[in-house]
Structure 1
């Protein structure tokens, strides 16, 4: 008899079950790296455990009930395969790997194997899910497997020789009814035997299984990790700055980068093997992005030499708007020598090939979501929300962290309340997965120290790669802060009057406020000063930037400002926090509404960025109608006010000392209640529902996506969306957007291709989407998308012929009450 794992008669796609089991085992074994290490289980035992999980994960598909469902489309309640597979795997591991030892630790590992197989098509939970109905199903399935035992063993022996008697032995699933320790194991490991190790073990095993399973099902071939010389970074920098006349600035960046590489070169073999944390502390504009990449490439090649495996490099960045420039730099450095994956919600994974090979869109999506590359560029949300979740899709990539080098850029962007939690998670990833971290920022927070406080443990100290960083801070006199807290501005009018007294017509000015409502008010007031009162010269461009305008328009605004600044044409930019990180603009003067210290210093990094404007370019810190209370926790703001209250001005050379005092105050405040709760209940207590309380991006009110059909391209994308939803796969619109994929779209695509095409289309649509709080859009509510042509969608819509009613081309979504804005 032939047994199938996957069977699609329409597409003529078939995969034998034994072939699938062996392929998943091989993929998982390849992904396992020697740096993974847990307590009381040897590396060889762990590897064998993983092999058994992978091989037995779909064993239940050998039932006649599943085969009839798959091949003949006969539905029945006994076709489910995960539970019987989980029971069989547990018994095999207990009997033949651990030899029935009554060792509680080993039985916990066997139980985790049971759980990850049971849940491998669902979200992850730690439970046995046993009731009388499930026992009844298992008995029927076991009887069927016993009846066909000879055919099953013969099929298995084609791929992985097994003994008939051993298979019969592990079909004694009824034994589990009497095994008290098994039935009550969820309570044991979340109470009596609780330990954070079980959380990190369970998500690792779960991730390794579902990743290997989906990669094989999607026919993604494993690739060898590629060698990339760290010198490529140096070559790229030389090329990038070959025409730069500001030689002092370039030399300073090069000297700092070379110092970091020398620090790594001086490390002994033992340090390379055992050191997991590195820091890069340097002021803005010192070239941390490329320096950290070169450090990671050098470290990667040393690890290959010392430990005989090649780590991935995973760079996580706090904000999507930083990624585009970083991606360009990374692509220029690695070229075709390595596989670069860019993974965030707007990332376009289309139009990519591997040499002469055209990669199908469904494979591209699988590679991106599985982080199946040499270098991964992603966001904090993708990284940390994937580590603290029960969701199958997000957990899939977590096994790729094992043994990797993770660069965390602008680590201070993590909210204070989560710093102890994230610090503890980083410590445990280093301990259990062998992950290495490069933490880089101009304002190095005490994230590891806070993590150690949560863990109540003292761990290794990080190695600072730029040990002489004080020199770079002390020499910096590009900017200075002027705290103006004595006078609070009651509204935008009062601020604009102050601005007009300070600002000079030949200066480029940056104004950063805390809410969209305030930013629009100030922008309109400045426009009025220019157009009505003629107090601002007509040749000065006034720009607006916030998440209230569609990404396509934000990109255009940034490009226009860059050109103006390059041509030394004065501009005024009114912005929200969108400008703070990654937007490489350079103004003469800045104004910042009160915010946490790291946000203030980030804004200062957009003023006199390259030091070409002399010394002491001012950034005024002020309070506009207590807007900060709507965005930030008051205790964060109180710390800033306390630090800045008595200072008339603060030079850039003093920023580092100021930041250290800020984080000393944070340390004194102890571990936040939120971090403590998620760690104790979610991670140690293995209550995955508690992890839902972790939100890097707050879901404020009823936030919805709104698609602005503002031009012909937007219309084409919506037409394509409707075609996909209708199943009109060969339509002219779809062929226009996906020309490479259009050849076979007259045939109904596979599930994987449907999902990949829809995902790729949605990413293209993102440049026309804004977010609002729909339940507050009383006067100007957007329209449900189904009103367009009857196609349902989970986003709202602004029709092309009504754009002017809803959307201002300069300031975005129109709402007179300002209630819909997300700050």
Structure 2
């Protein structure tokens, strides 16, 4: 069968049909280029060269002819590599087997691989398909066909294939497989595309730095902030720029809120790229509101900013770039970045090889959940040590990660003198009332006596109750509520309105959940904060006397008189540590040593939960699917409701009509994202919503969908002041609206 021509793809419109040889050459060459970034060009190239070895089979050729179906060529390709040095080829075997499915460890595949190689006759794989190649004879014929196409190929020596340094942890081991997987997937997708995306131009660092300096100079001239605060902002900016001129590695940036960390981080990143030759800057943020705000700032300095998140509305020609992360300046979410590093799926992992040799900036780094910290931090160390990255964890409440088990955390601080900043920039004083519980009506009474005040509570139900109590006391005043009951487009408009009113010195009374705490540039004279983890309290304090224009802002910490106080056990644990610390010794919100003491106690008290234990066990066993399923930064479940926000009424009607008529697509979901609210009470939401289905899925199919749209005639369930309020609460709305 050596004379037989083996094809990799079906015929194209011009009757051209790509051969297996041509496809393997193209994918192998691209994968080798991608792997070169982290000195893995040989193993990455081998993944590309052998990923479709299983197509050297009559079974797969019959698939292309339309006479057979249900053939798995990937597992057969992996089985051929399995006949080589199993230990050395393990990451390549895993990557090749997964390029049309998901990652599974070689240990878990060993049984099926042995069966495929030893059985003469059909073998059904775990996915229910039939292996393209089975038995010694079939593999001998396939090997002859491969040698005919590649007569000069020789298997490289183990030294050329193995990573330069031994793996330091299971996280290191698994990430190496994912990186090779990434090279293969991107090479395969790109080579198979009729119009491969063109690489964008490299980052013009000189022009970006010039724009940055001009932008900062304009901010200083027009700033209405306290002059001393501006001096510290300038000092932080300059210090981060100087720190950029050092070798790569792991860094922290610790500075009070409002000191200009966003621009200072960019200064570090640009100077660091200039000094070290890093090829890309990746900004990772925990919240979409932060991304919108940061992207607006960054685009004034670097026009080619690429956003990759659930609400990014990219034109068709840019979507491949977002999928590949191949642009020089990228902003993405913590969910997309971290979950990709622990994923087992091709689409998630495709971008990973482009993370290598990048400067990665994590703003608001304190937002990472405790249950995921140990594997996350280990992986960050691996990105620096093996993949040439420089990583910065930036926050006003820098965690002391040395309190975690198995973590050494060799990070260098970009601002060693940060204690001086906290001491000099005391813009607030805190009053603690956590011995007793305070009714929300009392908080509303106090807020009514101040014209520029904010209260932040832990639960949406508390926010609604407090807002109603405040509306009773200030019926003629303009009041604002901010929570995730408001769709993103609505929240953005409310924040802009508050900001404008504060600038014009108009009354602003705001009730909010935690969504206001990070990166929202608002400035209140008084702030009430329900007892919470210390990092949340300090972040909230950053919205009080933010610009230092008052002698001292006032923060009141209280415990609401409610049955349920916290959204989850992790939040409750943090609040419990804060209560214990305050009882022992008064907490100073402006003292970094208090923050470190808090984290040491918090991490020391954490003994693991079911999620962290499951994740730890799965990593130790190299169980890719369980790791992928368990590593989740945000709460899963609930429904996504498309809501009729009045400010985007035309968009709502268009998206709803299209979704009901033709079904949901990825493009439509991106368009709908600004009008989408998450609701965790499915029964309540289903009273006013109807399910949506993906394009191609019939309405008669009995399957759950996470996407819903408000029913026609039930538009009143979305309130112009309070957002999504299903029927159980509508009777209360009638008191005020």
TM-score (norm 2): 0.85
Query: For 1:370 and 1:329, how far apart are their aligned partners in 2?
Result: 24
- Secondary structure, aligned partner of 1:116: helix
Q: Which residue of 2 aligns with 1:583?
A: 520
Q: Is the 8 A contact 1:315 1:378 kept in 2?
A: yes
- How many Å apart are 1:450 and its aligned residue? 4.2
Q: Quick one: which of 509, 515, 519 aligns to 2:459?
A: 515
Distance 1:227 1:87, change over 3 A: farther
Deviations 1:250-275 (A, max 9, x none): 3321221102222343x4xxxx1xx5
Paired residues, number: 687
Q: Which residue of 2 aligns with 1:370?
A: 324
Are 1:638 and 2:584 counterparts? no
Q: Is the 8 A contact 1:314 1:404 kept in 2?
A: yes
Query: For 2:709 and 2:634, how far apart are their aligned partners in 1?
Result: 23
- Secondary structure, aligned partner of 1:74: coil
Distance 1:675 1:791, change over 3 A: closer
Deviations 1:353-375 (A, max 9, x none): xxxxxxxx1x5222212212112
Distance 1:809 1:788, change over 3 A: farther
**How do 1:431-442 residues align onto structure 2 when only pairs under 5 Å count?**
431-442=385-396
Distance 1:61 1:709, change over 3 A: farther
Q: Is the 8 A contact 1:420 1:672 kept in 2?
A: no
Q: Which residue of 2 aligns with 1:226?
A: 203
Are 1:659 and 2:595 counterparts? yes
Distance 1:12 1:343, change over 3 A: farther
Distance 1:781 1:717, change over 3 A: closer
- Secondary structure, aligned partner of 1:486: strand
Q: Which residue of 2 aligns with 1:82?
A: 74
Q: Which residue of 2 aligns with 1:348?
A: 313
Q: Which residue of 2 aligns with 1:244?
A: 223
Q: Quick one: which of 12, 23, 28 aligns to 1:25?
A: 28
Q: Which residue of 1 aligns with 2:640?
A: 705
- Secondary structure, aligned partner of 2:506: coil
Q: Quick one: which of 203, 207, 223 aligns to 2:178?
A: 203
Deviations 1:148-198 (A, max 9, x none): 8777655x35xxx536xx79xxxxxxxxxxxxxxxxxxxxx99xx994443
- Secondary structure, aligned partner of 2:490: helix
Query: For 2:275 and 2:113, how far apart are their aligned partners in 1?
Result: 49
Distance 1:241 1:33, change over 3 A: farther
**How do 1:782-821 residues align onto structure 2 when only pairs under 5 Å count?**
782-785=689-692, 792=699, 794-804=706-716, 806-815=717-726, 817=728
Q: Quick one: which of 288, 291, 294 aligns to 1:320?
A: 288
- How many Å apart are 1:468 and its aligned residue? 1.5
Q: Is the 8 A contact 2:281 2:328 kept in 1?
A: yes
Query: For 1:768 and 1:116, how far apart are their aligned partners in 2?
Result: 38
Query: For 2:372 and 2:634, how far apart are their aligned partners in 1?
Result: 12
Q: Which residue of 1 aligns with 2:261?
A: 288
Query: For 1:690 and 1:616, how far apart are their aligned partners in 2?
Result: 47
Deviations 1:649-690 (A, max 9, x none): x665x3423212212213433663558635642222112343
Q: Is the 8 A contact 1:285 1:609 kept in 2?
A: yes
Deviations 1:734-768 (A, max 9, x none): xxxxxxxxxxxxxxxxxxxxxxxx32221111112
Query: For 2:349 and 2:102, how far apart are their aligned partners in 1?
Result: 9
Query: For 1:375 and 1:47, how far apart are their aligned partners in 2?
Result: 24
Question: What RMSD over aligned residues (CA atoms) do the two structures have, in Å?
Answer: 3.2
**How do 1:319-468 residues align onto structure 2 when only pairs under 5 Å count?**
319-335=287-303, 339-350=304-315, 361=316, 363-447=317-401, 449-450=402-403, 453-454=405-406, 458=408, 461-468=410-417
**How do 1:54-65 residues align onto structure 2 when only pairs under 5 Å count?**
54-65=48-59
TM-score (norm 1): 0.77
Q: Which residue of 2 aligns with 1:690?
A: 626
Distance 1:513 1:816, change over 3 A: farther
Structure 2: unaligned runs, 5 residues or longer: 123-131, 156-165, 700-704, 731-737
Are 1:162 and 2:142 counterparts? no
Deviations 1:386-430 (A, max 9, x none): 222323322222222222221111111112333233222222333
Q: Which residue of 2 aligns with 1:49?
A: 43
- How many Å apart are 1:144 and its aligned residue? 6.1
Q: Is the 8 A contact 2:79 2:113 kept in 1?
A: no
Q: Is the 8 A contact 2:290 2:518 kept in 1?
A: yes
Are 1:765 and 2:666 counterparts? no
Q: Quick one: which of 72, 96, 102 aligns to 1:123?
A: 102
- Secondary structure, aligned partner of 2:284: strand
Q: Quick one: which of 534, 550, 559 aligns to 2:496?
A: 559
Query: For 2:564 and 2:517, how far apart are their aligned partners in 1?
Result: 17
Query: For 1:559 and 1:2, how far apart are their aligned partners in 2?
Result: 64
Distance 1:85 1:623, change over 3 A: same
Q: Is the 8 A contact 2:663 2:694 kept in 1?
A: no
Query: For 2:32 and 2:527, how far apart are their aligned partners in 1?
Result: 54
- How many Å apart are 1:795 and its aligned residue? 1.5
- Secondary structure, aligned partner of 2:205: coil
Q: Which residue of 2 aligns with 1:67?
A: 61
- How many Å apart are 1:624 and its aligned residue? 3.5
Query: For 1:224 and 1:33, how far apart are their aligned partners in 2?
Result: 19
Q: Quick one: which of 480, 483, 486 aligns to 2:432?
A: 483
- Secondary structure, aligned partner of 2:312: coil
With 632-641 and 141-150 compared, the bigger mean Cα shift is at 141-150
- Secondary structure, aligned partner of 2:714: helix
Distance 1:330 1:437, change over 3 A: same
Distance 1:661 1:75, change over 3 A: same
With 292-301 and 385-394 compared, the bigger mean Cα shift is at 385-394
Q: Which residue of 1 aligns with 2:418?
A: 469
Q: Which residue of 1 aligns with 2:191?
A: 216
Query: For 2:294 and 2:266, how far apart are their aligned partners in 1?
Result: 10
Query: For 1:554 and 1:264, how far apart are their aligned partners in 2?
Result: 36
Q: Is the 8 A contact 1:421 1:454 kept in 2?
A: no
Structure 1: unaligned runs, 5 residues or longer: 37-42, 95-106, 168-188, 305-309, 351-360, 532-537, 727-757
Distance 1:150 1:625, change over 3 A: closer
Q: Is the 8 A contact 2:458 2:530 kept in 1?
A: yes
- How many Å apart are 1:66 and its aligned residue? 2.2
- How many Å apart are 1:290 and its aligned residue? 1.3
Q: Is the 8 A contact 2:8 2:18 kept in 1?
A: yes
Q: Is the 8 A contact 1:454 1:676 kept in 2?
A: no
Distance 1:301 1:142, change over 3 A: farther
- Secondary structure, aligned partner of 2:454: strand
Deviations 1:616-665 (A, max 9, x none): 433444433254344343332221012223677x665x342321221221
